Amino acid sequence: MSDAVLQKVLSDGLSGRGAHANTADALDGLSIQQAGAFIPGSPHTIFQIVNHLSFWQNFALAWIDGDKPATPESAALSWPSDATPNSEKEWEDALAGFREGLASVCERVDRGDLSERVGEKHAAEILQIIASHNSYHIGQVALLRRIQAAWPPPAGGVTW
């Protein structure tokens, strides 16, 4: 597979192109109440999902940059304890943090140094893990939004 094809696959995966709503747009138009709503049967609120996504994006970026971030001892430690944002600013900061992390991850893909070794993995492998992780959880966000009659987002999204 050529580097150009790999870049396109990773870029499409991170953005959601061809699979679902734009990853960053999937969070648009949510109120603080919707972001922090407890949906029966869901273990997490949208607010928690956004912060969890940011945690792992930042972890991957640090790893690619040569840092040695400590892996949490359990998956629960990558989830925020606060289920609901305490203020509009906290929700806006969570969204901004996610979007900034996503932009940084996408910038790594655009740089094109995907075959660079990072420990036992290549940068492309780490970026693909983040693309898959984001896609998985953005799907959860879409479902939670649908349950709240808040889907699609303003920019649109798959509704079937």
Both tokens of residue 27?
A: 């969070």
Q: Is residue 157 part of a domain?
A: no
Total number of domains constituting the chain: 1
Query: Can you count the helices (H) and strands (E) in the chain?
Result: 5, 2
Bond prior to 80 in cis (omega within 30° of 0) = no
Q: What is the pLDDT of residue 1?
A: 64
First to last CA, the chain: 32
CATH number of the domain enclosing 65: 1.20.120.450
Q: Is residue 13 part of a domain?
A: yes
Q: Is residue 123 part of a domain?
A: yes
DSSP 115: T
- Residue range(s) defining the domain that contains residue 43: 3-147
Q: What is the pLDDT of residue 160?
A: 64
pLDDT in tens, the chain (160 residues): 678 888 999 999 898 887 777 898 999 999 999 999 999 999 999 999 999 999 999 999 999 998 989 999 998 999 999 999 999 999 999 999 999 999 999 999 998 788 888 888 999 999 999 999 999 999 999 999 999 999 999 988 777 6
Q: Are 122 and 64 spatial neighbours (Cβ–Cβ below 8 Å)?
A: no
Q: What is the pLDDT of residue 100?
A: 97
Q: Is residue 155 part of a domain?
A: no
